[in-house]
Amino acid sequence: MVRIVLTGFRGTGKTRVGELLAHMLGVPFFDTDALIEKRVGMTIYEIFQKHGEEYFRKKECETIASLKLADSVVSTGGGAIMNPSNVTALRQGSTVFLLTADDRTVEQRISRTERPSLTKLPLREEIHELQAIRRPFYIASADFCINTTRKNANETALVLRHILAEGTLTLKDATSLLSFVRRTPIAPEEADALELTLTSPGRDPLTRIYAVAGNPCNHSLSPILFNRLFSQYRMNCHYTRLCWPDFGEIIREAKKTDIRGLSVTVPFKKEALDYIGEADEHVKAIGAANTLVMCEGTIFGFNTDWTGIRDPVRHLKGSRAAVIGAGGAAAAAVYALQSLDMDVTIFTRSPAKAEDLAARFSVQVEPLSGISKTEPDVLINATPVGMGSDTWSPVEVSMLKQGMTVYDLVYTPADTPLLKAARKAGCITIPGTEMFVGQACAQFRCFTGIEVPPAIVRGYVI
C-alpha cells in the first residue's frame, strides 16, 4: 500500500471519490481544503474574501508539506499542482490519480457550491480558461488519468481500486513490451532490468514505464538520468529504450502497453506530429516534438529542446547566428534564437531540403560554404555529424573565427570534433551536454510535474 493522491479541477469528484476509496481500502482520508479550513479556522470562501488567494496558496503549501507519507488517500485542491513545491511533496512515495471531466459536467457539479471566483469571468468561461491553463500541469503530475464525466463517485472509486490492485499493464502486455525491447539493439543489462520490473514474481503493477524512442538511441543518456531521478524522488517508474526504425510501430507498442511517456530523438521528431492529439504552442511553432505524454488515450506533445538551446546563449541576445541543419533540432534552434532577437540564417549541404523550415521562420537558407561570408557571432550545429565514433566536423576549420561562440548540440561524445576544432581556432565553445541538461529538466517536468534543479541533472550526466 502507498499514499494515494487525487488531483484535478473542481467538480471532478476528488473529495467524494477519495472518501469512498479510503473506506474501501481501510485507510485514513485527508482533504487538503478541509485541513486548511481547520488550520486557519475559516471556510475557503472566507479565507479568499478576507485574505485573498496568495494567503490561501501559502496555507495550502504549508498543509501539503505537513502531510505524512503513510497509507492514506489525499484529495487536493484544484490549483495545488500549480506550485512546484506542492507537486514535489505530493509525488514522492505516492501514486497520483488525475480525475478529469468536461467543462459542462464540471459546471453542473459546482454551480450550486460556494467557492470564490478566480477570474471574475462567468462560470463556464472561468472553467474553460482555468482547465486549459492547468491541463499541462495536471497531466504531468499524475501517474494515471481517469475521466469521470460519465461516472459517478462510486464507479470512479471502483476503477481506482482496480488499478491499485491490477495496474493497467497486464502480464501479457508486459511480456509483449519486453519482447519488443529485446529485439532492438539495447544493452543486455538494460533489458534485464526491464524484465525484472515487468515480469518478475514480485513485480509492482503500478510501475509506470517511460522510454526514449529513436533510431539509433543507444547514445542517449536519458535512461541513466531519468532512472536516477525517479529513484531520488521515490517515484515508482522505470525508463528504457525503444530503438526501432518504424516510429509507427513504436507508438502502437507504447499505446498497447500503456507507456506513460516518450522522449523522442532522431529521426522521429517531425514524424511524431502525426501521432499527437494535442500539441503545445512550441510544438506548433517549431514543427517538431521531442516529448510525448499519454493521458486518457490522448498523446500530448511538447518540445523541450528549444529551452535547452536558448538558455546557454541567452546572454548573446541580438547577435547574428548560423544554424547548421534542417531537421527537428534545427527548427528548435531557430525558434530558440529568434526568441532572443537574433538574426538567424540556416546553413545546410542541401538548401532545397531546408526551404520549408526557412519559410516557417522567415529566415534565409544558404549552402554551408556561405558561413564565412555572414560572419556569425553564434554557430550552432543541429545535425548528428560528430556523434558517437563519427570523426567529422560539420564545418571546415577555416569557417571558425576567433571569438565566435560555437554550440554543438551533439552530446555523445561531450567533446566533439567540431568543439575541438573550435577551441583551436580561439572560439568560445558550448558542449551539447548543456543543451541536454536544459531540455532534460524541462522534459522531467513534462513527465512528472517536478522541477529538478539543473545542478542535479548536470551531476548525473557530466
Tens-place pLDDT, residues 310-333: 999 999 999 999 999 999 999 999
Which run of H or of E encompasses 180? helix 171-182
- Binned at pLDDT 50, 70 and 90, residue 240 comes out as very high
Average pLDDT over residues 226-237: 97
**Angstrom distance (rounded) from CA 321 to CA 343:** 6
Q: pLDDT value at position 116?
A: 67
Q: Give 75-100 as a DSSP string.
A: E--TTGGGSHHHHHHHHTTEEEEEEE
Whether residue 413 is preceded by a cis peptide bond, meaning omega within 30 degrees of 0, is: yes
Q: pLDDT value at position 65?
A: 97
Give the Cα-Cα-Cα angle 399, 405, 406 (nearest 5 degrees): 65
What does the pLDDT look like over 440-451, one tens digit per residue? 999 999 999 999
CATH architecture of 171-303: 3-Layer(aba) Sandwich (3.40)
- Is 116 in a helix, a strand, or coil? coil
pLDDT higher than threshold 90 for residue 372: no
pLDDT higher than threshold 90 for residue 121: no
Q: What contacts 210, CB < 8 A, 6 or more positions away?
A: 226, 237, 238, 239, 240, 259, 260, 261, 262, 263, 447
CATH architecture of 307-436: 3-Layer(aba) Sandwich (3.40)
Average pLDDT over residues 212-241: 95
Helix axes 123-140, 432-448, angle to 10 degrees: 120
pLDDT higher than threshold 80 for residue 112: no
Report residue 331 as a C-alpha cell. 527548427
Report residue 271 as a C-alpha cell. 514524424
Q: pLDDT value at position 115?
A: 66
What does the pLDDT look like over 18-53, one tens digit per residue? 999 999 999 999 999 999 999 999 999 899 999 999
**Angstrom distance (rounded) from CA 163 to CA 149:** 18
Domain ranges of the chain: 3-166, 171-303, 307-436
- Binned at pLDDT 50, 70 and 90, residue 347 comes out as very high
Task: Put residue 241 in one of left, alpha, beta given phi > 0 → left and psi -120 to 50 → alpha.
Answer: beta
How high does pLDDT run on average in the chain?
95
Q: pLDDT value at position 119?
A: 80
- Binned at pLDDT 50, 70 and 90, residue 1 comes out as low
C-alpha to C-alpha distances, 29 to 32, 93, 144, 237, 424, nearest whole angstrom: 10, 17, 19, 25, 64
Query: Is 171-303 the same fold as 3-166?
Result: yes
- Binned at pLDDT 50, 70 and 90, residue 418 comes out as very high
Average pLDDT over residues 278-305: 96
Could you confirm whether 269 is annotated as catalytic?
yes
pLDDT higher than threshold 70 for residue 9: yes
Q: Which of 219, 216, 295, 218 is nearest to 259 (CA)?
A: 295
Give the Cα-Cα-Cα angle 412, 415, 419 (nearest 5 degrees): 120
Torsion angles phi and psi, residue 284, rounded to 5: -60, -40
Q: pLDDT value at position 118?
A: 75
Check if the beta carbon of residue 294 is closer than 8 Å to that of residue 272. no
Q: pLDDT value at position 55?
A: 97
Which residue is it, cell 529566415? 363
Distance between start and end Cα atoms, the chain: 36
**Angstrom distance (rounded) from CA 238 to CA 240:** 7
- Binned at pLDDT 50, 70 and 90, residue 350 comes out as confident
Q: Is 3-166 assigned to CATH 3.40.50.300? A: yes
Which of 50, 58, 172, 269 is catalytic? The answer is 269
Q: pLDDT value at position 79?
A: 95
